[in-house]
Amino acid sequence: MFLLAGYLFMHFFNRFITAYVCDRPTTAEYAIGLVPMLGIGFHSFIDGGIYSITFTVSTFTGVLAAVGMVLHEFPEGIVTYLLLIRGGFSEKAALVSAFLAAALTTPLGMLASYPLVSRIDMPLLGTLLSLSAGALVYVGATHLLPTAEREPAKYSLVALGSGILVAVVVILSKP
């Protein structure tokens, strides 16, 4: 239910941005990059909370999560940057915005959540994760998939296969 709420929030937010911010021909393409950037930023902020929980569990678990964070945030930043460029942002604005959304929001989420981690119960954490997942499903379904379908099939297939292989290796390597 909360996944759907996150999806619908991003849908209506996209409609608002498109109708009231990007309704002029010079800014119409901004929604292509702006909405996914905000969804990724929200997701990354929530990721920060997850990482603060992992460090609370143990330092080793936190370090493993931090390594995963770096590997996870880098491609997220690249995708955000490319979407912003396709949305008509200048290279400098896209770089700064992608950095803020994909890289800076995670440590901010970690710093903001760390004092509250001991008070968070699992249902609330699950709700926040579901909202974040819904936002990401929206971004993927509405912005990333149509863009990926326009790319050469050979490269898309290699990228998809590589992602699946990495996911399988990670899942199988867990104790």
- pLDDT over threshold 80, residue 110: yes
Three-class SS string for 121-164? CHHHHHHHHHHHHHHHHHHHHHHHHHHHHCCCHHHHHHHHHHHH
Q: d(Cα 82, Cα 55) in Å, to the nearest integer?
A: 32
Q: d(Cα 153, Cα 49) in Å, to the nearest integer?
A: 37
Q: Where are the domains of the chain?
A: 2-139
- Tell me the three state secondary structure of residue 116: helix
Closest C-alpha to 20, from 10, 30, 9: 30
Alpha helices by DSSP H, listed for 17-152, are 30-57, 59-86, 91-98, 105-113, 122-139, 145-149
Tell me the angle at which helices 2-16 and 30-57 cross, rounded to the nearest 10 degrees.
Answer: 150
Predicted pLDDT of residue 92:
92
Predicted pLDDT of residue 161:
83
Q: Spell out a b/e string for 42-56, using b for 16 or more CB atoms within 10 Å of the CB, else e.
A: bbbbbbbbbbbbbbe
Residues 131-164 pLDDT 10s:
777 877 887 777 667 776 777 777 777 877 887 8
- Return the DSSP state at 22: S
Q: Which two tokens stand for residue 116?
A: 């509250």
Does 101 or 123 have the greater pLDDT score? 101
Q: Quick one: pLDDT band at residue 20, thresholds 50, 70, 90?
A: low
